[in-house]
Structure formats: C-alpha cells, structure tokens
Structure 1
Amino acid sequence: MKYSLIANQLMRRILLLLLLFSLVATSGAAFPFSKRKKKAQSTQTEKKSAYERALTEQLTESVRGSFVSFHKTDGRILMELPKQSLGRDMIIGVTISSVSNPKMGDLGFKNSNLVHVRFIEKDSSVVMQVVNTDLFVPKNQPSATLAARLNYDNLDFFSFPIKAHNDSTGAVLFDASSFILKENRFFPVIAKNVGSYTVNSSLKDNLTRVTKLKVFDENACVGMDRHYIISLSGKKGSPITNYPVTIGVNFTLALLPNDLMTPRLSDTRVGMFLMNKDVLKKDGSIDKATFVKRWRLVPKDTAAYFAGELCEPTKPIVYYVENTFPPLWKRAIKAGVLWWNKAFERIGFKNVMQVADFPANDPNFDPDNFKYSCIRYLPTDVENAMGPSWTDPRTGEVINATVLVYNDVVNTINNWRFVQTAQIDPRARGAQMPDSIIEETLEYIIAHEIGHTLGFMHNMAASAALPTDSLRSPAFTQKYGTTASIMDYARFNYVAQPTDHGVKLTPPRLGVYDYYAIEWAYKLFPGSKGFEDDAKQLRLLADKHEGDPFYRYGLQQTGTKYDPSAIEEDLGDDPVKSSTYGMDNLRMILKNLDHWIGDEDGDNRKAELYNEVLSQAMHYVRNVSVNVPGIYLYQTSEKSGLPRYKVVPKTKQKESVQWLLKQARTFATLGNDTIEKKLPFGANKPFKILARDVQSLAMMATSKLAISYYLDSTSYSPIEYMEDVYQDVFGKTIAGKENLSVADLSMQRLYVDLLQEGVSDMKQAPNVHNLQMPLTSVNSVITNMLRRNEAEKEHTECCYLADRQRSLDDDTHFLNFGNGYGEPEPLWGTTVNRTSEFQLEYAQKLLSLLETTIPRVSSPDLKAHYMLLEKRLKKYLK
C-alpha cells in the first residue's frame, strides 16, 4: 500500500515534467528563452562602435559635409574631420550677427584678425595649430623648408581629446566645445573701449546657446548667442556696472586654396591694405616686405588678354544683394557696385564686377556660405556703411567680402546734402531728400565701400588735387567732380556758390586716382614669373605719375594731423578759401532754414539740421587750423628727387592764423536768434558756446609750430605767431581803446587761461608727436547734441612701420616697395619745443601792459576785467 502511494506520486511528477517539455516544444516560448534574448541584446550593444555611441547616447543634431561635420549634443559641439581635411590650411573668423546694445558691438563686424590654422592628429588628440605665415617662400625654393621649420614653426594652440574614429570613412571625432563655446582672446567679441571708458566683460558660459550649424563644400558656420556681464570704468567713475548684454556670434571655418596666388609687393605711393612678410631671398637671407590685399583675377583667354582684347575673368567678383532693401536702395546699390567695371575695362578685363539679388528659389544659396560675398541690410539706427573683407594670410588674396549698409545711413545723406549743397540745389532744400538725391548719393557710398573690399584704403589727399576755384567751374566739375578719388572723404561741393549754375555737386563716378589704383593693383604683365617681375613694371607705372597731384596718395592721419592736404571732409587745395566759401554758404542756409524747413516737419528735424550746420562750420574751422603748423607729407621715391615733406608756405600759415582770429570774433554771429527761440536747446546759444572752441584753435598752435619751424627755418616761427596773436587779442588795449566787444573780452580771458597751461608747469616741455591739445570743454548739453559718427568704422588694418628702403634682390632696388603704409617716423619735438619759455615771456609782457593800462581806464567794467586778468597773471607767475 505504501509502495503503491509512492509509485503514484512519482508517476505524477514524471507526467508533469513531460507536460512542461511538451509545452516548450510546441509553443517555442519559455523562461530560459528570455534569458537568451537578453544575452543576444547585450552582444548587439557591445558591437556598437565608439563613434556610434558618441552620437547616440544623447539627443544629437548633426550637419554633415565632405569638408567638416558638426554635431550638437548635450550642450557640446563635436567636430568631425575627414582624412582629407586633416592638415589642410584653414582660416577661422568671427562675425557679430546680433547685439542687444549696439554700443557694445558693431552688427555685422568681421574680425579682421583671421587665425590661420591646421588640424592635425597627434597621439590620442587632435591639435589645432596656429600656422606661422610670417615667412613667404617664393615658388621653386625648397631650400627654405628647413629654415621655415626651425625659425617659423607653428604653434600648438588647442588640443582636443579624440572621442572616436569613424571606421567607415577614417574621420576623427572630437569635442571642440572648449574652443567654440568659450571666450578667447584671439577672437574678441566685446569692444575693449567705449568712448573714454574701459570695458570689462565676463562671459556667462552656462547661458551660451548654439543657434545654428551649417556646413558647405569648403566652409562651415557655427552660430551662437553669448551672454556677457559688462562694466564700464573710467576717470569719471563707473557709469555702468553688471550690465547684461547678449551678442550673436558666427564662427566661420573655411578652407584656403591649395594653389597660391602670386602676391604683389606694396608701394607707399598707392594706398592699399597690407600684410607683413619675411621674404626668403635667393641667397637664403631674409628680407622684410609687405604685400597688398587684392582679389585674384585670371583672364579666361590669356593670349587674347595680352593681345589687348577685353576678356572676362575666370572667376568674377560677384556681390549678392539682400532682398530686404527698399527697391530704390537696391537700384542704387547695384549701380554703385558696377561703377568699378569702367576701371577694370581699361586694363583689359570686362564684367569683373557683377551683382545679383539673393536667389529666391535656390536651395544651394546661403548668405552664411563663405563663398558668397554679400551686401547686407542692417536695420539699426547707425548712420553708416562699411566694407570689411577676409583675405588669405599667405598671399593677401581677398576670398570673401561683405558690405554692410545700416538703416540710418539715409539720415546721413539727408544731412550731408542739406548743409553742403542747399545753397545751390533746390532739390536739397527740404527736411528729407528726394529719391533722386538718395539714389545718386547711395551709389557713391556703396562704390566707396566696394573700393575698400577691392583692397583700397582711404586716399585723403585726393580732394586737394583740385584747385578750390575750379570747384566753381561747370566744365571742370563735370569732368572731375569734387575729388580725384572716391576713396577720399570728399562729400559734396560746399565750395559752389548760389550763382554757380551748372556746377557738379557730387564726387565723380570714379576719379583719376581710382583708375590708376585699379591698374596698379590688378593689371597683369606678360612674361612675369613672380612678384619681383611684377614689381619692376609697377615701379615704372608709379614713377610715371609721381609728382602729379591727381595721382597722389595721402595716408589717413589717425593721430596728430600734420598734413592739411590729407584730412577728412575737406575740398580744394586752399583751406582758407574753401572754408570761406563754405562759411558764406552756411550763412545763406541759416538765413533760409525757417523757410525751407517748415514747422509742419516738427522741431526735431529743424533742430537736427541746425546742429548739422553748426558741426559743418566747425569742420571748416578745423580744416584751417591744421594749415597753421602744416607739413605736407609726400609718398615719393628717392630716385624722383621730390621731397618727402614740405612745410606750408609762410604766407599761407599767416593767412590761416588771421582767418582763424577773424572767425574767433564772428563765429557766434552765425547763430540765428529767431530759430534758436523755437528749438528745445535754443537757450544754450550753441554757436556762442562753441565760439570759445574756435578762439582756442586760433590761439593754441605755438607748440605745434615748433616742429614745422624746426623743419623749415624760413616758415612761420612760434614767436612770430605768438606776437601776431598777442597784437590781435590785445590790439585795442595797446591802442588805449575801451570799446571792447564781447568777443574781445572772451578772447582776452581765454588767452590768460592758455598762458596758465604753459607757465604753471615749465619743467616738462610737451612732446609734439603726442600733442593732441583738446578743445576747451563746452556745455555737456551741446556736446551731446553735436555727438555723431564722423568717421566710418571700417576695416582699416595698420602696421606702424618706418618708411625705409628695403630691397628684395641685389639687382632690383625698388624704392618704396614693401615698406608698409608709408607712415612718417614719429616727430619728437621735445628738444625743439620752447613753448613754455615763450609763454612766460608773453605773460610778463601782458602783465606790464595791464599795470600801465589799468590806472588810465575810465570804464568801471573794463577796469574790473583788466584787474582780474592782472590778479590771475600774478598768481600764475608767482
């Protein structure tokens, strides 16, 4: 019985096991299978490559290209370079795409200091090298390889750990966030200075946001918003602390061409943007030189080109115009670009400059694509336009350019044309200019900016090539306009008088110098084997025109202005005569301002134009003030026998002083009391306030004359100048007259103030080179009222090299070739400046005059005036 029970239990277990095995066999699903499945999944995960894991572990946004690929993942930027891109020459640049406060950055500004880099693989890292391009090795000189490696080595700038390799393509993947997303001193975004204030900024890394990733055939773009905290500090304290600013930044990475353009040696007689190089000579030595920046132009048919036929270039210079411009502006912009074709045709090229709208239905077009040069519309309240460009740091080849046109440039047009031409042009007598003036003026502005993108600097001497009185001639101005170059700041014909009918009021389409500059920069020469062969031909071209004022180049003076013939906003070769005509016209314009600008336009516009007249008048005064100690600076070769400098003739210097002294007494009378009563700031009497600045300019040239008199002892001496000023300011006092005007009293008080500046510190004579004597400060309301953008914010690179001869070969002595921009050596005047002792002499002389005059004065008011001057002089002399 017991045995039977055990046997039954055993049988039931056997049957149960058989049933379970049967279920496994029939259903194909049981617990052990799920374990095998997990094991299979684990095996599958292990087979994923490191490259795949890097791009799948987090949500990733990728843009891929044959040149480079970018991946945005988990707040990082991964960069992927294929084999063919490793070791290639590239450039990295930065553009400001947006800004929350325009004072902290110029919208559209391109960082001109491009960084030339290569990405190479070293051990387990990708290293970004900054390539040393200081040495230029002419073709077919392999002997330079060792010297370049030893003395001009590249700099390992950034190291990025490799995350993975793409096994299928051989590309290398690395995290570039530490470079792209962080602040870097090589790519400054925030301005270091705003006015007289120093800017301190800190980047809030945690708020940086990538806004776009774009990859094209030979370049790529990473866009981001960066958030900064800004503080301003200066002598007057810190007006802004912990101020938040957001700036949109575009990083561009672009391949450089494999085939190098033949560079062109600079010549100080032609104004072009430059780059410095150490050039390897045939004997293995190194020489210093500078190359110009220009586009590469190659004719489609070289034989036809050298046979004198017009040929198209293999690669024209094409500008794409943004579609957001108003139609009127677009017409003017396109016309301005094409102005330069006439100059290219003279040297055998046709259709070099081309212009087109942004393609509406072309998916391949993108303004962020580095291969497209664009003209962009910036809807900000900046009254300006500018034309930056990017160049190959190895040769100077321009590879991309942008023209930026700000919305309020039209305000500048309205203001310029009113204050400079309303006296003669009825079209300009309104609050806003008609379309015809807007269009023709915008053409000129665009053509000027295009000139910068072609490589040309400002030529501030061009307007001085035209005789002042010729600017009143219809025949002459119809041929030459207002200047010999549109690269000057010679705007509109303020010399033309109301009766000068038929006179051209605008700059030329292209000036004589502009045609010459295109020839020098872009003409090709048959049989040339390199830049040295070109230089021989270019030297002959420059020699042929040397001494001709229409072909003269005048460097823009950014510090002390020595040369009165190379300054901004002037016309003609005679500053006194031109400014006299200009002042006469301003009086006529102010007389009619109320009639031409009615009350229906509102007080603001009338006030703005009134201020523009005031600013223009001050331009005329400053133009003449530079003439007093003026030194003409010439870019000449030693071979020519022409001087490098020449002091303004003494008669012109004295004439300028007498003109300034006259303006010192009459400038206040330019103001229109009737109009000022209607204006919000009229009670300040702005012309009367700024009259004190005019008086200062008339009496403060002693120290500047020290250097011109040192250079030419037959010129106007500082002591002669001081005597002329003394006789003028105190002429009535010396003659015993008591009918002193308000201007007479003001000038005498200011004279004593200026004497005090020299006498109070006689131990240290000023340095003429650094002497930028400020104008007497005026009421802050008027200062703010007159503040404006008077200088274009343009890409103007400077290298302060001495103007010394450097030859590139023993048998080719190219004077002025490869010598930088032609800046003069610093004019150190400390040893020749005797201003303090002269001022002491005249302080004592004036004190003696006052001591003998005061007892004889009958007017109580005048006696009080003299007694105050006497007391102050005694205090100073003590």
Structure 2
Amino acid sequence: MNRLTYILLIALVALSSLFSPQPVAASPTPTLAPQQRGGGAGRRGGGDDESDDEDDSNGMKEYSEVITEDAITKPGMFDVHEVDGDLFFEIPAEELGTEMLLIQRTMESTLQNPGSFFGGGPRLIVQWERDGDRVILRQKEYDLIADESAAVWDAIAGFRKGPVLATFDVETYGADSASVIDVSDLFLSSISEFAPIAGLNRGRSWVEDSWSFEDAVNVQVTQSGSGSAGAAGGRGGPPGGGRGGRGNTSRSQTVKKLFSMARLPDDPMMPRWHDDRVGFNSSRSYDFTRPDNRLEQVRFIHRFRLEKQNQDVAVSDPVEPITYWIDSATPDWLKPWIVSGVEAWQPVFEEAGFSNAIFGRVAPTAEEDPSFSLYDARNSAIYWRPSTVANATGGQIVDPRSGQILKGEVNMYHNIMELQKNWYFIQVGPLDERAQSLPLPDSLMGRLVEYVVTHEIGHSIGFPHNMKASAMYPADSLRSRSFLERMGGSHVATLMDYSRFNYVAQPEDNIPPEYLIPKVGPYDRFAVRWGYAPIPGAKTADDELATLDAWARQQDEFPWLRFTTSDAAGSDPEALTEAVGDEDAVKSTTYGMMNLGRVMDMMLGVAEKPGESYAELETLYGQAVSQWGRYMGHVTAIVGGAQSQEKYGTGPRFEPVAKARQREAVEYLNNTAFHV
C-alpha cells in the first residue's frame, strides 16, 4: 500500500464515523417543548442541554450577561427579573426545598359562557430543588404521613416526592449561590397540572407582568389557543352559545391568568382532628405511625389560623384576623351588604375567644394598587361573577400539612339576585308587604344578598351544609315570635342549612319580616367554638380529643346542636334540603301550602305589567310549581325513613320513623298530591 492510498483510507474511515448514527441522550422529564418557544432563539428551561457559543468552559454565563443592566428587577421571596421579554427567577439557596402553594386563576376569558359556573383552577403544593446545575420544580403529595423520626419515614418520604413538573438549566448564579433560571416558558407550557388552554399557541401567548413579595411571587400571562368550553367554564352551561360563538372550540380563544406562588408557613399550625358529629371540611391522609399500631386514615379539619395576641385573657384580638377582600367590580350599592354579610360572623368568633376576628374589605382597584390581586394565593376573596348562573359558592385552599385555610374563596354570581327574589316571593310573599310588588326594594334585596354571603363565608371558613338543623325546632314554634327571638331571630339553627325563608309562619302570626330570613344560629356558635376555640394546655392534636368529645356530647342534651349524620342521605326525613320545620313535615307543609295558595291569588297582580310580556309571570308560576313539588317531597321522605343522630361510642344512630307518622304522611299525599 503506497502512502497516497493509506492517506485516502484514513480519510474514508474518518468521514464514515462522522456520519454514523450517535446515541441520543434522554432529556429530563417533562421538558418544555422547544417548538413552543417561537423563533427558537436562546436557551431556556426544560432540559435543553445545548451550550451557547458565549458560555465559558463549564457552560455558565456571567451574571451580568444574563441579568443585564436593562433588566427590570423586582426583589422579594425570589428576585424576579424581566429582561427583553424573558422572565427569570433568582431562587435563593434557602428557598430550595421549601414547600409552596401554587395556584392559577383565570382573570379574563373568551371561553367563559355567560350561562356557566366559573371554574377554580389548579392548586398545587410544590417545591424547588437543585440537582447540580439544574433546578427542578416538583409537586408534593400528602396522602401518606408519618412521624419523621420513625424508621418508616424513610419509606414514606420516597412515595411523597410527587411528579417533576419542569426542569431548568441554571443560567448563572447570583449572590449567595442563588440559582438564576429562565422561567419564561413555564407559565406558557402544556404542563397538564397547570391547566393550560387547549391547543396553546406559543406565538400568541406571553408573560404580561410579574410581582415579587416577601413571601410570594405572582406572574400574569396571556394564553391563546383553540380552547375548550370546559377549560374556563367549569360546571354548567351549554357547550356553545353566548356572544360571538363563545365556547366554540373551532375558533381561536384567549385567556388571561394569574399564577401565584406563596411560601407555606414555616411552622405548620397544630391540626385539630375531625369528628363526624360536628360539620367541618377536612383533609384525609394515611398515618403510618398512630399509637394503636394499625394503618389509619386520619382527618383534620379546615380552619383559619387564629391565635390570641394575649393568651391570658378570655377574649383577645387574633395575631392575624381573617380578611375577605370584596371584588371592586361588585355593584357599589351592594358592597356594604357584603361587608356586613362577612362580619355577621364576628360575634360568633368572639364567643370562641377572638374579638375582631373577621372583616370584609373592598379590594383596591388596579389604579389604586397595581400589585394587588384578588387571585393572589394569600388573599381571601369574594368574586363578583358576570354570569346568568343563579347561584353562589364558597370554598377554601388549605395547607395539607395542618388543614390551615390559606385562601378562602366565595363566588357571587350576579343572577343570584333573581333566585333570591323568586324564592322570597314564592315562600313568604304574603308575610312581607315589600315582596308584594316587583322589583323588590334595594333594602330587601340587599338583605337577601347579605344572607347568601354569610352562608358562603360559612363554607369558606370550613363548614359544609347541615341539613338536619331545620328539623331541630318544633314546627309550631316557628309561628311564635317569642320563640324566634329566644333562638336569635331565626327559624333554623344554622346558616348552613338549605332552609330558606320561614314559610311556616302565617299572616296572623305577625312575625317581623326580619325573622323570616335565616341568621347565624346556635349551631354556628357551637361549631365555631368547637373548631376554633383554643384548648389550654394542649400541645398536640391528640391532647385536644377529650375536650372536643365533651363539647360534641352537648348534642345529646341540645338537639339544635346536631349535625347531619354522615351516611343518612336519602333516608333521614330530618335531613332535607329546602325545608322549614321538617321536624313535622306534614304540619309544616300544610302551612307552606296555605301560603302558596295566597301567593297564587296575588301572582297576576304582581307579575302583570302594562306593555310588558308575560315572562315574569311564567317564571313565577314555574317557581310555584317547583315549590309545590318540594313540599310534597318533604312529606314523601317520611315514608320508609329513619331518624338519625351521629354518635361516637355507644347508642343507636338510627331509629325508624314511627308507623303512625308514616301513615299520616301517606294520607296527606293521597289527599293532596294525588287528589285531582
């Protein structure tokens, strides 16, 4: 072989190796897809391992190359930097491994059907971790718990890590080894846990603004895509319709969202164990280190963290009161009513040991405070929703480690006023002159909205419905002014029952109209004390059990303190919705039917308007028919039913309804429902 041939052979081998297939390194999971970036320039999070030509030998840029002199920096929990349209987080080393609440709420949407509920949005517990020059955003799980000092914790910890949501290359390091990462794509990605708009188009989506606070970071984004009617609308409503084909998935859609990330408390609140005898929302986990050596599903209640400023007095202001921020979009004339609806709970908390515990405050407008947001994970809020939905809802977001409510939320749908008007007219119109002409005066409608707000705040501070309360007063007593005054001016023991207006009362009883509308009652005072009152000397949740049990046993003596039995739905005729005086549903329905007859006599005069259609009359007539159906349903529930009381320890929980009562119910239905 001559020298020329040898050189050519070496060159051929080199070329063949150059074009041979090479193994592809697996990228981290999940990755933020580069094709969503638009333009493809630069390097961002999501596990892109390519190096920039300007990088030094270890692939790291100088801080000034990443966070340039043109950067807009907002200091806080993380320093947040906006650089030429990109968004960077500078995460201090001490924040790595810190558990945080991350929520997303929709601020504006072309997907929201006028006739649909407003959906909530993701609520995640996450933490930032660092692995070399990579930062990981991981979701945390809390369905398994254990004492961290126990040997089993090593196994539990591995199954609580949760999924990796995204990864980011560290672009550079700041002071004290703070990791600087580009999060521009994080809030514009298709990470399913973030509930992105369907068919997200990166080229028509962008980060609008950001804010950093001492304990939180907020990012506002616009997302565009093909959309989905359920993405913003949540429950209810038709799949299409509305303005301009709103909800039609064949057209482009755009939403504006706020992502809010807030640090969880450094010192978790001491939890309080759940008890089926007292109504509280609760979190469930499997505890692997309970003292009885068996795997147990434990529950602790949801409640705000109220701690006395002065531990040595019976009643003290809390260290941090509960504040609900009222949407500035609420009609101005209703704002005072909503404030009073929130603060109706103040005297209840005072009985539990806390003065000035809860407030309603009108939220600042964007012009008054650009950094404030109702959607901030730290702000409890009452949203005013532009929707034809005739409803309202209340809920809460909690710290899963303790049950502490971090953010209470109430949705007030504008059309709730239509529902309240209809119910009030149909149920107690003959008992209140103000309801005998339409529209209702603002003074009455404001009071009805206030009632709804107080109910929904009850949900938001931890309470589920208690449908048993309306059966805990004798039906005849609901016609007695002195009895109603003695029980706080209300016909039902709690605001948390679906017991609307006192249709048992008759015109000749001369019940003041104010006593026709539910108020905070004795059950509410009992439940707030049970859930919120400090128990002196208790250092752990187990230390509180004896006291909580003693408080719950007061239900044996005072029936109006009882809560709906956990598995009695559909069988207990004392746990009905839309009922008043269902202790004796035949008697209360008889009285209700008498008032309904009076309503029918006055309906034409109220609903007919010269020059107007019969739409109002049609609506009210339909409401009257529905009310008749509810009355008959209350009586029907007696047949085959069983009364119940939730108990711990010994004693029967269920007792069949007496035969005589069942016969009376059948006779009533034969003479009324089946009589033509």
TM-score per shorter chain, which class? 0.7 to 0.9
> Do residues 564 (structure 1) and 576 (structure 2) align?
no
Report which stretch shifted further, 439-448 or 373-382.
Answer: 373-382
Q: Please tell me the residue identity of whatever aligns with 1:350.
A: S
Q: Which of the residues 293, 298, 301 maps onto 2:310?
A: 301
In the TM superposition, 1:648-687 aligns within 5 A as 648-666=657-675
Q: Which residue matches 1:711?
A: none
Matched, 1:157 2:157: no
Matched, 1:311 2:316: yes
What amino acid sits opposite 2:346 in the alignment? N
Q: Describe the SS at the equivalent of 2:551.
A: helix
Deviation at 1:456, TM superposition (A): 0.8
The separation in 2 between residues aligned to 1:436 and 1:479, in whole angstroms, is 25
The letter of the residue matching 1:606 is L
> Does 2:250 match 1:257?
no
Q: After TM superposition, give the deviation of residue 616 of structure 1 in Å.
A: 1.6
| Residue number in structure 1 paired with 2:210 | 213
**Matched residues in 2 for 1:606 and 1:92: separation?**
48
For residues 98 and 568 of structure 1, do their structure 2 counterparts lie closer, same or farther at Cα, with a shift above 3 Å needed? farther
2:338 alignment counterpart: 333
Partner SS for 1:342: helix
Change (3 A) 1:386 1:576: same
Per-residue CA deviations over 1:155-184 (Å, capped at 9, x if unaligned) read 241341314123435222334466532344
Q: Does 1:122 align with 2:158?
A: no
With structure 1 as the length reference, what TM-score do the two structures score?
A: 0.63
**Amino acid paired to 2:457:** I
Q: Distance in 2 between matches of 1:329 and 1:434?
A: 13
Displacement after TM superposition at 1:148 (Å): 5.3
Structure 1's 224 and 623: CA in aligned 2 closer, same or farther, altered over 3 A?
A: farther
CA contact (8 A) 1:478 1:503 kept: no
Match of 1:94 in 2: 104
Kindly report which structure 2 residues correspond to 1:444-843, keeping only aligned pairs within 5 A, or say none.
Answer: 444-480=451-487, 481-502=490-511, 505-546=515-556, 548-554=558-564, 561-572=570-581, 573-600=583-610, 602-639=613-650, 641=651, 643-666=652-675
In 1, Cα distance between equivalents of 2:169 and 2:601: 75
- Structure 1 gaps of 5+ residues are 1-42, 191-200, 667-742, 744-878
Q: Distance in 1 between matches of 2:591 and 2:199?
A: 52
Query: What TM-score results when the alignment is normalised by the length of structure 2?
Result: 0.80
Contact 2:136/2:166 (<8 A) preserved: yes
Instruction: Say if 1:627 and 1:653, in contact at 8 Å, map to a contact too.
Output: yes
Distance 1:142 1:652, change over 3 A: same
1:353 aligns with 2:358: yes
Tell me the alpha carbon deviations over residues 508-545 of structure 1, each in whole angstroms, 9 at most, x when there is no partner. 43111000001100111111111111111101111132
CA deviation vs aligned residue, 1:422-452 (integer Å, no higher than 9, x gap): 1221111122111221122222111111111
Are 2:418 and 1:421 aligned? no
Q: 1:189 to 1:621 in 2, by over 3 A?
A: farther
Question: Given the superposition, is the C-alpha separation of residues 464 and 300 from structure 1 closer, same or farther in structure 2, using an over 3 Å criterion?
Answer: same
Inter-CA distance 492–150: structure 2 relative to 1 (3 Å threshold): closer
User: Distance in 2 between the 1:634 and 1:188 partners?
Assistant: 42
Is the CA contact 1:93–1:110 (under 8 Å) kept in the aligned structure 2?
no
Alignment match, 2:406 = 399
Contact 2:607 2:617 in 1 (8 A): yes
CA distance in 2, matches of 1:266, 1:124: 44
The aligned counterpart of 1:290 is 299
Deviation of residue 72 (structure 1)?
A: 6.1
| Whole-Å separation in 1 of the counterparts to 2:351 and 2:55 | 69
Task: Give, in whole Å, the separation in 2 of the partners of 1:443 and 1:633.
Answer: 32
Whole-angstrom CA distance in 1 between matches of 2:229 and 2:111: 13
Q: Deviations over 1:342-368 (max 9, x none)?
A: 112212211111233335756764434
- 1:858 aligned partner: none
One-letter amino acid of the counterpart of residue 627, structure 1 = I
What is the SS of the residue equivalent to 1:422?
A: helix
Hey, what's the Cα distance between the residues in 1 that align with 2:450 and 2:623? 22
Which residue number corresponds to residue 42 of structure 2? none
CA distance in 2 between partners of 1:533 and 1:287 (Å): 18
What is the CA–CA distance in structure 2 between the aligned matches of 1:99 and 1:564, rounded to whole Å?
43
CA deviation string 1:394-448 (max 9, x = no partner): 1000112232222222212211211111122111112211122112222211111
Matched, 1:442 2:449: yes
Query: Is the 8 Å Cα contact of residues 135 and 148 (structure 1) preserved in structure 2?
Result: no
Give the CA deviation at 1:225.
3.7
Give the 3 Å change call, closer, same or farther, for CA 136–231 of structure 1 in structure 2: closer
Assess, with a 3 A threshold, how the Cα gap between structure 1 residues 318 and 458 changes in structure 2: closer, same or farther.
same
Cα distance between partner residues in 1 of 2:355 and 2:377: 25
Deviation at 1:103?
4.4
Q: 1:410 aligns with which of 394, 399, 417?
A: 417
Aligned-partner Cα distance in 2 for 1:359–1:204: 33
CA deviation vs aligned residue, 1:785-820 (integer Å, no higher than 9, x gap)? xxxxxxxxxxxxxxxxxxxxxxxxxxxxxxxxxxxx
Count of matched residue positions in the alignment of Structure 1 and Structure 2: 599
- Give the match for residue 222 of structure 1: 219
For structure 2, list consecutive stretches of 5 or more residues without a partner in the other structure: 1-52, 231-237, 241-246
Alignment of 1:23-62 (within 5 A): 49-54=61-66
* Mean CA deviation greater in 410-419 or 71-80: 71-80
Query: How far apart are 1:340 and its partner, in Å?
Result: 1.1
Aligned to 2:27: none
Tell me what 2:6 maps to: none
Residue by residue over 1:646-682, the C-alpha shift from the partner in whole angstroms, topping out at 9 and shown as x without a partner, is 222223333333333444444xxxxxxxxxxxxxxxx
Larger radius of gyration: 1
Matches of 1:148 and 1:503, distance apart in 2: 63
* SS of residue paired to 2:262: strand
- 1:472 is displaced (CA, Å) by 1.6
SS at the partner of 2:90? strand
1:591-634, Cα deviation, whole Å (9 max, x unpaired): 11111233236422222222221222222222223332323343
Distance in 1 (CA, whole Å) between partners of 2:190 and 2:660 is 57
- C-alpha distance in 2, partners of 1:576/1:476? 21
Gap change, CA 1:243 and 1:75, over 3 Å in 2: farther
Shift of 1:49: 3.2
Q: Percent identity?
A: 29
Distance across 1 between alignment mates of 2:114 and 2:400: 28
State whether residues 304 and 405 of structure 2, in contact with CA within 8 Å, keep that contact through their aligned partners in structure 1.
yes
Please give the secondary structure, in 2, of the residue aligned with 1:656.
helix
What secondary structure does 1:248 align onto?
strand
Q: Which moved more, 1:485-494 or 1:472-481?
A: 472-481
Which residue, 259, 264, 270 being the options, matches 2:278? Answer: 270
* Greater CA drift, 432-441 or 292-301: 432-441
AA of the residue aligned to 2:290: K
**Cα pair 2:166 2:186 within 8 Å, conserved:** no
Contact 1:96–1:105 (CA under 8 A) maintained in structure 2: no
Asked if 2 retains the 8 angstrom alpha-carbon contact of 1:166 and 1:173, the reply is: yes
Task: Output the CA distance in 1 between the equivalents of 2:302 and 2:469.
Answer: 21
The alpha-carbon deviation at position 571 of structure 1 amounts to 1.0
